[in-house]
Structure 1
């Protein structure tokens, strides 16, 4: 294994440890009942101060919620690409390895979503349709930051024209930034939820990248 691949793996492991430690901290540090229906929230002073600063903007929540369909479309698109390759090549092992890895990656992302819906760390700072909803890590942040960077990797590999590569990269990057910031300031998540989503998704993307790099050899 060359130095680049080792560095990737080290970064991946570091990000995993950072996410686990952050999650543990959210469940232990400055835990107060500042959420709706007296729900407990870690880093209470920090989260409350940030939430009071941004306020709640339901229009932004709705916009980012609907735009959350964009990464879903990318997932379906790459899934269709894998299916077309499977039909044409008549063998699963002949499907591009990075597409197969991407499929497994998507399954892991969904598994993480389900995991934190079952094992709730904390709830949203507001009620959604009168109900408490799991808030950590931000699922929209997780989805966007997992799907869109890997989409960039895939598209840059498959697009031949440098100018088109650059345009696609810039558009997807701007969309991703808007989604994360939009979710952050909409007031439907605590600050620590967004940080958790960023750490988890960054780990996941680095894991995907590390695996694809290792399998190249």
Structure 2
């Protein structure tokens, strides 16, 4: 394993450690009952200030919710690619290693989502259909920042046309940025939810990149 890959893996582990520390801080520091129905939220003053600053924009929330289907399509697409390789090559060992690693990565992301749905750190700053929903980390941010960047790495490695590759990477990069910023400004999450989603996603993606050896720089 080369030096660059080792550095990437260590950066991923560092991001995961930062996420764990941030999660602890959200649970312990400045916890205040500022949410709907008196729900308690860490870094209460900062979160309340930012939520008052942005307000609530349900149209933006709905748009980013529906656009969350794009990462799901990526998961299904690469899952189908792995299945086709398995059927044609008749052996799991003959499926491309990066596709197998990507499958494991998707399982890890799903596991993180289910864990924080079951162990709610805090709840949304707004009621959704009259109910409190777990809010930390932002699942839409997690989905977009995990699936799209790893999809970009796959496309960069597999597409032969340089023009098509660059166009898609720019488009997907802009889409990812819109998803994160849109979710932040929609008012459906606390600021700390978005930060947690970014830290967790960065850690997972960097680990995948380091283990797979893929890069957008090549």
Listed as ranges, the gaps of 5+ residues in structure 2 are none
Structure 2 equivalent of residue 47 of structure 1: 47
Aligned to 1:125, the other structure's residue is in SS state coil
SS in 2 for 1:33: coil
Q: TM-score, normalised by structure 2?
A: 0.96
> Aligned residue for 2:131?
131
The answer as to 2:169 corresponding to 1:165 is: no
Q: What CA deviation, in whole Å up to 9, does each residue of 1:5-40 have, x standing for no partner?
A: 221122111111100000000001100000011000
1:99 aligned partner: 99
- C-alpha RMSD over aligned residues: 1.0
Aligned to 1:154: 154
Q: Which whole-Å deviations, capped at 9, do the CAs of 1:142-194 have from their partners, x for residues lacking one?
A: 00000000000000111011111100100000000000000000000000000
Partners in 2 of 1:9 and 1:150 — Cα distance?
15
Aligned to 1:211: 211
Instruction: Check whether the contact 2:5–2:211 (CA below 8 A) recurs between aligned residues.
Output: no
Specify the alignment match of 2:185 in structure 1: 185
Distance change >3 Å, CA 2–CA 158, structure 1 → 2 = closer
Q: Which runs of 4+ in 1 moved over 2 A?
A: none
Q: Deviations over 1:120-154 (max 9, x none)?
A: 10000001011000000000000000000000000
Report the CA distance between 1:206 and its aligned residue.
0.7
1:35 aligns with 2:35: yes
2: CA distance, partners of 1:176 / 1:3: 28
CA shift at 1:212, angstroms? 1.2
Aligned residue pairs total 214
> Which has the higher mean CA deviation after the structures are superposed, 5-14 or 178-187?
5-14
Q: Which residue of 1 aligns with 2:59?
A: 59
Please state if 1:17 is matched with 2:17.
yes
Does residue 74 of structure 1 match 2:41?
Answer: no
Q: TM-score, normalised by structure 1?
A: 0.97
